[in-house]
Structure 1
Amino acid sequence: MAADDEACAADHVLRVALRHSECVGGEVLEQEHGLERVRIDMNVEMPLDMKADGVSSSGVRTCESVVLKLPASWPWQSPRFYLREDFPRHFPHLMPFSTPPRPCLIDGDQDEFFLQFGLVDYGVFHLVDQLAVWLRKAAINDLIDPEQGWEPMLRRDYRDIVELDAEHARSLVDRKGGWAVWKGKYYRRGDPSGLLGVDAEAWLSSDGERTPLKTSEGDDTFTASPMRGDMRVGNTVLAIIWPDKKSDGSAFVYSTYMPEDVETLGHLRARAEEVGCARGLDAFLSNIERSFAGFVLPAPIPVAVILCARRPVHLIGTESDIELLPYVIDVRAEQGRQTLFAQGNDEPVSPAAHYQSISAPLLRSLSGSPEQPPLVMLGCGSVGSKLALHAARSGQDIVCISDQSGLRPHNMARHALGPSHVPNSKAEALAKELEGFGLRPELHKGDLGRDLREQELAKTLLPKRAGAIINSTASLSVREALVDAAPPRYRARLFEAALFGRGRGAFLLADGPRHNPNHADLMAEMYATIGGTPASKLLFDPAEGLAEIRIGQGCGSLTMQMSDARLSAMTASLALEVNELMAVPATDGTIIMGTMDDGTPATSWVRYQVPPFETVEIAGTDGWELRISKRVADRIRAEAASYSAVETGGVMIGCTSARLKTVTVVDLLDAPPDSQRSAALFVLGTQGLHAAIEARHEASGRTLFDVGTWHSHLQDTGPSGTDWNTAAELAAERTPPSILLIATPTRFHALMHTKEPD
């Protein structure tokens, strides 16, 4: 391979270009402004009848001379291709305002395309090949494929920007024609007396709120701040103008592709005439003149005009046939003026690029996310704030957020929000950030454990329109209050997300249909089933858990040491899991656990499906309920069936909540070897029982306890007198509550004696 050097770069490019079959000649030209240039002559394939004339019906010649200019940073940048000065400008894929015309050869960054080939020779050859294809399509007017859609004007290199929701603007368009004015904001950078697009640039944005054109005392439709460096900000307007109907009543369709060559107000009027918007533009300009009568501003105010051109087919990438053509004009309301536009039709106008404003459809399209129902975020700490912003960035609405604490300097180690929000309320700070995504969530800054139990407050925290409630507080009181507050008929699915083990572990709980299993059930199930896994060590090892961190003189915070990178990685995965679970109807509860490998960021995730728990009313109590894991219920029935001629039983392991009035059973201990089984009675033995209960308690990270005993009945009979006596004995001997569960062939019975036996 021959090496390039500065002296022979142009020669080398010419040699490579001539290897292409459509490149039939060329020469190295004199340098221009210190840059090397090459002319190549390209054969253009076209139909025979056009070839005989030497030029196509679209104005492309059978042999086109193209100049390649090598940039100063060659070969780190690609050659620039220039067509002849009089090349027709009515084609798409021509760079606007370029003189001579520059074809747009690549859908994307031409330099990146060039560099991807590694070798300069390959990069140049493939660009020449793209040029040959472009010229061939231009010759037969095939640069727009009607099946693919209409190719909008190239506007990506313009310095001036108009940001608005394109679909909202298009929704205004009707067959009659008209115009509307939206409130807007602007940033104008550069010389106040300079030309937009040349000496200055402007960014105008609008959320689509209509406004009348007026400038009365105290009105803030048009404002200008003092200069801050070279920038000024303020309020302005954007005019949306759409075409009138034709004289025969049909819609005005403009099917000719035209280059973007508007430079003056006269050009803009001509463009408006072409696309059927002349009446609307004239009306807007007259009204803005009238609204500024007697009003003086010491600074130029950029105003946007968006012409809505109706095309014969839909635009590429959309279902709409309306192309938005945005322009920016500086309005100068100077003292002693005769008009806002002193130069008349020669008043400068700057074509602008359009940026889609932040909206849920835009965010969903960029993130590849489906439309999801709204969220409620309970907890706006490090985990909750990151989950909220992940949801917002995927186009999901957040209708309520809650946190009673404030942002403090130490939160900045891992919180999604920056230091500028300190010392505001976490909920208020997150709500302010979400405003930028167009979200307006309800705020709650009270005690969730208390307020979820207040009926009126619960309506705000659990709104009917929410599709999911995410609890990231890591609070037992909030978990139980949420379980208590959500009735079976409440449709939103409840999630709980938390990190443990200094960020090397994470779990997500998702309740089942009609909130069964609930989060209290799922936590107990998790404690019962993760023994011996890497997650159990992280969750149960005190060395991996919470530690007091000094956050100020005389101040400490119970928290976990972990990096923001680790927390962000785990939280992002939790966000993905929430999305997956929300995409399908719930059939079971779900436990998802992730653990990070030692010495590497690789993370393993496992998912457990948890069927609804069986519930049994506990006789002898004031409304207590026994909740039995299906896994345990199946095991009880299987053992009872295996002892079909005698009663059998064992010990139940689980946890209790006095606030929920529930006893949850998630494991069993086999009956000790000295237990007695007969057709009429089961007597639980004691040999090794205490040690087995203690061992199970320790293995669960001291979260699960002995909550009672169970035994079978051979017939479908409820509790006998003997059973009630046994319950009384259990109440006297054991720490309450102590449940007696009876398994009959068709159902469960549960009882608890709450008084001392007589």
Structure 2
Amino acid sequence: MEPGMAGNDFRGHAERFLAAALRHPECRGGRLVSVDAGGSRIELDLNVEMPLQFKVDGASPNGVRVVETVNVRLWPSYPWSSPSFSLRMDFPRDLPHVQPGPVTEPPRPCLIDGNQREYFFQFGLVELGIFNLVHQLILWLQRAAEGTLIHHGRGWEPTLRRDLNDVIALNAEACRAVVDRNGEYRVFKSTFFRSGGDGSLVDKQGTTWLDVSQTQAALKRDDKKLFGRNTRDGYWFGDTVSCLVWPDKKPSGDEFVAAAYMPETVDTLARLKERANELGCGRGLDVFLENLDRCWQGYVLEAPVPIGIILCARRPEHLVGSVSNIELLPYLVDIKAMKGRAALFAAGDAEPVVPAMQIDATNPTLLRDVSGAPELAPVSMLGCGSVGSKMAMHLARSGVTISAVSDNGMLRPHNMARHALARASFAGSKAKELASELGLLGQSPAVHDGDLVADLPKNEQRKMFLPKDARYAVNTTASLAVREALSTIGSKQAKARFAEAALFGRGDGGFLLFEGAARNPTLCDLTDELNATVTDDRVRKLLFDPEFGLTEIQIGQGCGSLTMPMTDMRLSAMTAALTEELVGLMQADEDPGCIVVGTRAEGSSNTTWTHERVAPFEVVTIEGPQGWTVRASSRVMTKIAEEVARYPTVETGGVLIGTCSARLRTIIVVDLIEAPPDSERSATRFVLGTAGLKAAIKVRHRASGGTLFDVGTWHSHLADQGPSALDRATARQLAAERPPPSVLLIQAPTRLYALMHDGAIK
């Protein structure tokens, strides 16, 4: 049967429901009360087990009877909808797990912690679903009689508001944080959206959604900017205010604690004031309403506008799932500033008020809780392209604060192929657009749309994209210039720990570099280490083969973009995994640097990940040109130590492999080539041979994808002494023979020396 055809046999459905319910041993009787076009109504007489002393009185101390008659409503859509249950009108309402509703309607129990229809459907057979729902109802009544509807020890269970039509969204933790013992109120700017009927905004014909900002508003007289209402396509929206009220302290000076459970029965302004008094918030609410009326004096708006009122109830213990004991109770009421009005609330104390669901506004804490993600320190994103935007959104949706975003590029139509954002043809800078998107997730990152390389040396500009609160900064620019520029920044200039993420091999590979503590190793160190240690053929092919490199893609007539063709699916899969790897490293926050590489198997979606911890590099100031240093990886230093140990009585040496940067004034050494067989070793000197050396250097260069070069030589000294006259002469000779700088590294028994002739860098 189709869901829309369920109402064709109202009486038959009702009779089968009654028959199934009567099979429960605690169901003592039942009857079909009515059947009409609106469905059917059934009454069930249910036995309520309770302690013997209660049975003698015929009821529990809180008023639950030994036999309770419950009303069951089957709607026209039954059995595609769940039955509704309601209790007698005088059933005690001061119990938890009672659905919100006015005192003019019968109370309704909440039987299921979740969706009742899904519970009803899970048993397959309708009769089994009926039996189990009736069983839940009987358990509810028994616990109500015993006073055990609240699970003691878990905390205070908030008043049920789950099934209400109207919503107030706010930052709950921020609201609770302003509550003190003295009692007061605060007014916040808010916006509303209304769907449904075209009359009052507070009625049963539609839904109102009200967003509460954290911007306070002063209720000045005739402040027209705070309020407004517009309509479009049958919807109403505009600006308004919301008031947060918390309890006054007692005359004794103690905090006002609302220890009694109060079901949600507020439906008029009078009952709202009564509830405020019960919670100790009466004075604050009265003052707010008086100031609101004064604000509207002489001001006319020919349309009703909703305002939000949030009462703060201080409970005797923390709320379930929270460390706070402040329960937020939100309500909506219309103000009607019509011309010739007698009052701002047209019906006075009889003005309708509706309780609303309290929904947490989107914020990092909420997203982190929903994601089950760890709490991590803020991150700055350097690069807002396809990889950067995806990583930023992954992190933000996991509750990580994105403290700054930086990119000097514009978001263009071709970026829509893989960017995390979708925008119209004319859009702003990538950084501004990403910041705007992050704003929808409760974030407010600083925006830098300048040149990172140019601005990194400048203190004020650098603070824009490397703010103090950023514990990490992730470079996703795929820019060699940015990587080098970041490697010049000392730990005292910026506290953020740098990482770099990039894809290669057209998305079949990706790497993550995570620098070490105190900027050692740096991103440049880690890049060279990666290129030096790649041995897997699949990784080498994806990383170094030109076939998988950048390709110019035409994006318009006469213009192209240098990019790496891949689908958004491929980029998203690899970027998401890289983000997970980044989160793991941020959690561990160990001192060593780390290289993470992921590669997808050819013809498969299987991805293999490798992790290499990288110890700090040995840093030695080079004698000769000012400001130059040599940085040698721990692997290299281990190889040198092993070679020296093999020749304890003579000097030995070899060739240094790595990179040289005049901008960084640094030579990075990540590998060695052993001395050729025609090398000479003695106690006073080492002469590097030449047999096969050029060929070996070329092979090493090709094996690194053309990224690593010979950058000098090393040799040992048997005593703790620096460069000899012969060493200096060799440095001069090297400077004259070859244009790139070439360093001489000397391993003495207890320290390192480095030498370069000034002419090497002229």
From the superposition, tell whether residues 28 and 518 of structure 1 become closer, same or farther in structure 2 (CA, over 3 Å): same
* Residues 139-148 or 374-383, more deviating: 139-148
Partner of 2:748: 744
Q: TM-score of the superposition, structure 2-length normalised?
A: 0.92
Deviation by residue 1:230-249 (Cα, 9 ceiling, x = unmatched):
22222211122233344554
Once residues 441 and 250 of structure 1 are traced to their aligned partners in structure 2, the CA distance between those partners, rounded to angstroms, is 41
From the superposition, tell whether residues 732 and 253 of structure 1 become closer, same or farther in structure 2 (CA, over 3 Å): closer
Q: CA deviation at 1:424?
A: 0.8
Q: CA deviation at 1:304?
A: 1.4
Q: CA deviation at 1:535?
A: 2.3
Once residues 606 and 16 of structure 1 are traced to their aligned partners in structure 2, the CA distance between those partners, rounded to angstroms, is 60
Aligned partner (choices 271, 275, 290) of residue 275 of structure 2: 271
Q: Which letter does structure 2 place at the counterpart of 1:177? A: G
Q: CA deviation at 1:609?
A: 0.3
Aligned partner (choices 196, 212, 218) of residue 202 of structure 2: 196
Partner of 1:223: 228
Q: Does 1:323 align with 2:300?
A: no
Does the Cα contact within 8 Å between 1:512 and 1:611 map onto a contact in 2?
Answer: yes
Partner of 1:578: 582
Deviation by residue 1:37-80 (Cα, 9 ceiling, x = unmatched):
65544321111011122222222222233344445555544333
Q: CA deviation at 1:105?
A: 1.2
Q: Which letter does structure 2 place at the counterpart of 1:509? A: L
Q: Which letter does structure 2 place at the counterpart of 1:111? A: R
Q: Does 1:298 align with 2:302?
A: yes
Once residues 397 and 285 of structure 1 are traced to their aligned partners in structure 2, the CA distance between those partners, rounded to angstroms, is 37
Aligned partner (choices 710, 714, 731) of residue 710 of structure 1: 714
Partner of 1:480: 484
Q: CA deviation at 1:403?
A: 1.0
Helix, strand or coil at the partner of 1:565: helix
Q: Which letter does structure 2 place at the counterpart of 1:285? A: L
Partner of 1:282: 286
Q: How many residues align?
A: 750
Aligned partner (choices 141, 163, 166) of residue 160 of structure 1: 166
Does the Cα contact within 8 Å between 1:115 and 1:123 map onto a contact in 2?
Answer: yes
Q: Which letter does structure 2 place at the counterpart of 1:532? A: D
From the superposition, tell whether residues 493 and 74 of structure 1 become closer, same or farther in structure 2 (CA, over 3 Å): same
Does the Cα contact within 8 Å between 1:672 and 1:684 map onto a contact in 2?
Answer: yes
Once residues 172 and 705 of structure 1 are traced to their aligned partners in structure 2, the CA distance between those partners, rounded to angstroms, is 61
Partner of 2:121: 115
Helix, strand or coil at the partner of 1:224: strand
Once residues 78 and 354 of structure 2 are traced to their aligned partners in structure 1, the CA distance between those partners, rounded to angstroms, is 31
Once residues 573 and 450 of structure 2 are traced to their aligned partners in structure 1, the CA distance between those partners, rounded to angstroms, is 30
Q: CA deviation at 1:112?
A: 2.4
Once residues 740 and 318 of structure 2 are traced to their aligned partners in structure 1, the CA distance between those partners, rounded to angstroms, is 72
Q: CA deviation at 1:201?
A: 2.7
Q: Does 1:357 align with 2:358?
A: no
Once residues 714 and 439 of structure 1 are traced to their aligned partners in structure 2, the CA distance between those partners, rounded to angstroms, is 60
Q: Does 1:656 align with 2:652?
A: no
Q: CA deviation at 1:386?
A: 1.8
Q: Which letter does structure 2 place at the counterpart of 1:484? A: T
* Residues 121-130 or 465-474, more deviating: 121-130
Once residues 168 and 425 of structure 2 are traced to their aligned partners in structure 1, the CA distance between those partners, rounded to angstroms, is 29
Once residues 95 and 576 of structure 2 are traced to their aligned partners in structure 1, the CA distance between those partners, rounded to angstroms, is 45
Deviation by residue 1:562-611 (Cα, 9 ceiling, x = unmatched):
12222222222222222222223431111111112333433222211000
Helix, strand or coil at the partner of 2:274: helix
Once residues 674 and 602 of structure 2 are traced to their aligned partners in structure 1, the CA distance between those partners, rounded to angstroms, is 36
Helix, strand or coil at the partner of 1:583: helix
Once residues 201 and 594 of structure 2 are traced to their aligned partners in structure 1, the CA distance between those partners, rounded to angstroms, is 61
Q: Which letter does structure 2 place at the counterpart of 1:205? A: D
Once residues 355 and 27 of structure 1 are traced to their aligned partners in structure 2, the CA distance between those partners, rounded to angstroms, is 40
- Aligned pairs for 1:126-275 (under 5 A) are 126-194=132-200, 196-216=202-222, 219-225=224-230, 227-275=231-279
Helix, strand or coil at the partner of 1:558: strand
Once residues 277 and 731 of structure 2 are traced to their aligned partners in structure 1, the CA distance between those partners, rounded to angstroms, is 93
Does the Cα contact within 8 Å between 2:38 and 2:75 map onto a contact in 1?
Answer: no
Deviation by residue 1:449-507 (Cα, 9 ceiling, x = unmatched):
22213344234333333211111111011111111123467432111111111112111
Once residues 19 and 698 of structure 1 are traced to their aligned partners in structure 2, the CA distance between those partners, rounded to angstroms, is 82
From the superposition, tell whether residues 20 and 604 of structure 1 become closer, same or farther in structure 2 (CA, over 3 Å): farther
Aligned partner (choices 302, 308, 311) of residue 307 of structure 1: 311
Q: Which letter does structure 1 place at the counterpart of 2:169? A: E
Does the Cα contact within 8 Å between 2:408 and 2:449 map onto a contact in 1?
Answer: yes
Helix, strand or coil at the partner of 1:42: strand
Does the Cα contact within 8 Å between 2:256 and 2:314 map onto a contact in 1?
Answer: yes
Does the Cα contact within 8 Å between 1:188 and 1:302 map onto a contact in 2?
Answer: no
Once residues 284 and 642 of structure 2 are traced to their aligned partners in structure 1, the CA distance between those partners, rounded to angstroms, is 81
Q: CA deviation at 1:654?
A: 0.9
Once residues 488 and 636 of structure 1 are traced to their aligned partners in structure 2, the CA distance between those partners, rounded to angstroms, is 32
Deviation by residue 1:148-177 (Cα, 9 ceiling, x = unmatched):
222222112222221222233334444443
Where does structure 2 lack aligned partners over 5 or more consecutive residues? Answer: 1-5
| C-alpha RMSD over aligned residues | 2.6
Q: CA deviation at 1:264?
A: 1.7
Q: CA deviation at 1:561?
A: 1.3
From the superposition, tell whether residues 538 and 122 of structure 1 become closer, same or farther in structure 2 (CA, over 3 Å): farther
Helix, strand or coil at the partner of 1:366: helix
Once residues 550 and 341 of structure 2 are traced to their aligned partners in structure 1, the CA distance between those partners, rounded to angstroms, is 71
Once residues 131 and 752 of structure 1 are traced to their aligned partners in structure 2, the CA distance between those partners, rounded to angstroms, is 87
Does the Cα contact within 8 Å between 2:447 and 2:465 map onto a contact in 1?
Answer: no
Once residues 172 and 652 of structure 1 are traced to their aligned partners in structure 2, the CA distance between those partners, rounded to angstroms, is 62
Partner of 2:3: none
Deviation by residue 1:623-679 (Cα, 9 ceiling, x = unmatched):
321111100111111111111122222222111111101111111112223333333
Deviation by residue 1:203-249 (Cα, 9 ceiling, x = unmatched):
22222333222343x64122223x11222222211122233344554
Q: CA deviation at 1:560?
A: 1.2
Q: TM-score of the superposition, structure 1-length normalised?
A: 0.93
Q: Which letter does structure 2 place at the counterpart of 1:682? A: F
Does the Cα contact within 8 Å between 1:215 and 1:221 map onto a contact in 2?
Answer: no
Partner of 1:60: 64
Helix, strand or coil at the partner of 1:719: coil
Does the Cα contact within 8 Å between 2:168 and 2:359 map onto a contact in 1?
Answer: yes
From the superposition, tell whether residues 694 and 343 of structure 1 become closer, same or farther in structure 2 (CA, over 3 Å): same
* Residues 10-19 or 440-449, more deviating: 10-19
Aligned partner (choices 690, 696, 711) of residue 694 of structure 2: 690
* Residues 608-617 or 354-363, more deviating: 354-363
From the superposition, tell whether residues 518 and 190 of structure 1 become closer, same or farther in structure 2 (CA, over 3 Å): same
Q: Which letter does structure 1 place at the counterpart of 2:274? A: A
Partner of 2:420: 416
Does the Cα contact within 8 Å between 1:244 and 1:277 map onto a contact in 2?
Answer: yes
Where does structure 1 lack aligned partners over 5 or more consecutive residues? Answer: none
Aligned partner (choices 95, 103, 114) of residue 109 of structure 2: 103
Once residues 201 and 118 of structure 1 are traced to their aligned partners in structure 2, the CA distance between those partners, rounded to angstroms, is 33
Does the Cα contact within 8 Å between 1:214 and 1:221 map onto a contact in 2?
Answer: no
Deviation by residue 1:510-567 (Cα, 9 ceiling, x = unmatched):
1111101001100000001112243222111211121111111111111111122222
From the superposition, tell whether residues 658 and 46 of structure 1 become closer, same or farther in structure 2 (CA, over 3 Å): same
Does the Cα contact within 8 Å between 2:101 and 2:266 map onto a contact in 1?
Answer: no
* Residues 661-670 or 343-352, more deviating: 343-352
Once residues 425 and 380 of structure 2 are traced to their aligned partners in structure 1, the CA distance between those partners, rounded to angstroms, is 21
Partner of 2:55: 51
Aligned partner (choices 646, 667, 671) of residue 667 of structure 1: 671
From the superposition, tell whether residues 423 and 254 of structure 1 become closer, same or farther in structure 2 (CA, over 3 Å): closer
Identity rate of aligned residues, in percent? 53
* Residues 376-385 or 69-78, more deviating: 69-78
